[in-house]
């Protein structure tokens, strides 16, 4: 494998290690927050299990990043991401929708696409193990959203979906990428070419996430405008 590609693959797996660690901390925090206002909810226990899954994922990703010569650092941030104007319970719902309904659903789509490719055996084992868990993590989010929607109006989230999406994607996703980021050679090491990443992201929003949100009365119109409007996207970062 060329040194340049090896480095790119290592960086991608080191990045994933960090994302998994952050997810572990977020799940633990959200589990405690939900238990505090909804004692009968099954969601906190599921989230604590999910936090353990994410620790396991982080270890698997760290092994791969080391294998590609890029040891992952130990750091993981856990900042609450909801806007300060939301009341605490609404802020938790914001985070659950952003991190489970959107991010975990997108993650499943990415993993499914990768698993259809010819993969290095070690990469395939890791992706397969992670994919099974992320499906469950996505469902935890939809379960919490359904529970909240059954007792209150959740349509207030609609104008916040663009900010959630902006927080999910890396800035460059909608820009053209250099030839190195479009390389299909990286696919077998678990890294998607840039343009494929973008089409999966948008396709999953339109096919799964938006219809899912609409079921709970959360309009996808602001999010669709954000997707189709580069100026709106650059404003949100």
| Residues near Fe ion, by CB under 5 A | 20, 54, 57, 134, 137
Question: Nearest-CA neighbor of 144 among 49, 53, 220, 34?
Answer: 34
Q: How far is the CB of 227 from Fe ion (least distance, A)?
A: 23
Nearer to Fe ion, 86 or 136 (CB): 136
Task: Give the residue with the Cβ less far from Fe ion, 92 or 227.
Answer: 92
Query: 20 or 148, CB closer to Fe ion?
Result: 20
- The residue among 106 and 134 lying less far from Fe ion, judged by its C-beta, is 134
Q: Which is nearer to Fe ion, 108 or 227 (CB)?
A: 108
Residue pair 21/76 in contact by the 8 Å Cβ criterion: yes
Going through 69-170 in order, the beta strands assigned E by DSSP cover none
Angstrom CA distances, 210 to 90, 91, 136, 161, 228, stand at 19, 20, 19, 10, 14
Taking the complex as a whole, the smallest distance from the CB of residue 71 to Fe ion amounts, in Å, to 19
Shortest Å distance, C-beta 24 to Fe ion: 8
Sign of the dihedral defined by the CA atoms of residues 129, 64, 173, 24, in that order: positive
Shortest distance, position 104 Cβ to Fe ion, whole Å: 5
Q: Give dist(CA 204, CA 222) in Å, integer.
A: 17
**Under 8 Å CB-to-CB from 206, ≥6 apart: which residues?**
none
In whole angstroms, the minimum distance from the beta carbon of 141 to Fe ion comes to 10
Q: Describe the crossing of helices 121-151 and 105-115 by its angle, rounded to 10 degrees.
A: 150
- Contact in structure between 32 and 15 (CB atoms under 8 Å): no
């Amino acid at each position: 494998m060329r040194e340049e590609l090896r480095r790119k693959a290592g960086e991608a797996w080191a990045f994933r290690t960090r994302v998994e660690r952050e997810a572990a901390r977020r799940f633990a925090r959200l589990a405690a927050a939900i238990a505090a206002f909804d004692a009968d909810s099954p969601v906190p226990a599921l989230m604590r299990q999910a936090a353990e899954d994410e620790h396991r994922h982080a270890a698997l990703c760290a092994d791969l990043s080391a294998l590609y010569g890029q040891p992952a650092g130990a750091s993981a941030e856990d900042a609450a991401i909801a806007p300060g104007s939301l009341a605490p319970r609404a802020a938790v719902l914001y985070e659950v929708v952003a991190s489970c309904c959107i991010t975990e659903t997108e993650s499943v789509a990415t993993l499914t696409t990768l698993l259809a490719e010819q993969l290095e055996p070690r990469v395939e084992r890791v992706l397969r193990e992670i994919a099974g868990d992320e499906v469950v993590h996505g469902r935890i989010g939809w379960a919490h959203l359904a529970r909240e929607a059954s007792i209150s109006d959740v349509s207030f989230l609609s104008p916040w979906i663009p900010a959630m999406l902006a927080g999910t994607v890396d800035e460059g996703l909608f820009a053209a990428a250099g030839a190195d980021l479009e390389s299909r050679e990286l696919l077998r090491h678990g890294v998607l070419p840039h343009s494929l990443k973008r089409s999966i992201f948008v396709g999953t929003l339109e096919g799964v996430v938006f219809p899912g949100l609409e079921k709970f009365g959360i309009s996808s119109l602001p999010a669709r405008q954000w997707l189709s409007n580069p100026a709106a996207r650059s404003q949100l970062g």
